[in-house]
Amino acid sequence: MTTKEYMQCVTAVDGEWLAELGPMFYSIKHAGKTRQENRRRAKEEITNMEEEMSLAQEQIRARKEEQERKNNLGSVRVIKICTPGRKEETPMTPKRTPARFGL
């Protein structure tokens, strides 16, 4: 009976979904917790993240050291760079196809 449009289909959305998918817009307010408890919980989360970061850095450092040890243990690789026009000891492709192939 009005000139305005209204939505016909509506779906219920859990508040946790919004906080998970759009944390910059939505946050979950924990009922029954004081500001001091929230600060303590946030501080614990930060310390946990810092511990995880330090463990990850130690693992990265250990991997680098292991890689350097592997490289220094005598696995010497000879890298050969092919340059056009330079003659090598290896036989090159013949300029003409041999007659025995019938071409």
Q: What does the alpha-carbon distance between residue 89 and residue 84 come to, in Å, rounded to a whole number?
A: 14
Strand residue runs (E) in the chain: none
At 11 the pLDDT is: 87
User: 17 pLDDT band (50/70/90 cuts)?
Assistant: confident
Q: Is the pLDDT of residue 102 over 70?
A: no
Average pLDDT on 12-23 reads: 86
Burial (CB < 10 A; 0-12, 13-18, 19+), residue 19, is middle
Extract the tokens encoding 67.
């890689």
Average pLDDT on 66-82 reads: 75
27-36, 44-53, 64-73: range with highest mean pLDDT: 44-53
Q: What does the alpha-carbon distance between residue 95 and residue 72 come to, in Å, rounded to a whole number?
A: 43
Q: What does the alpha-carbon distance between residue 59 and residue 53 come to, in Å, rounded to a whole number?
A: 10
At 89 the pLDDT is: 64
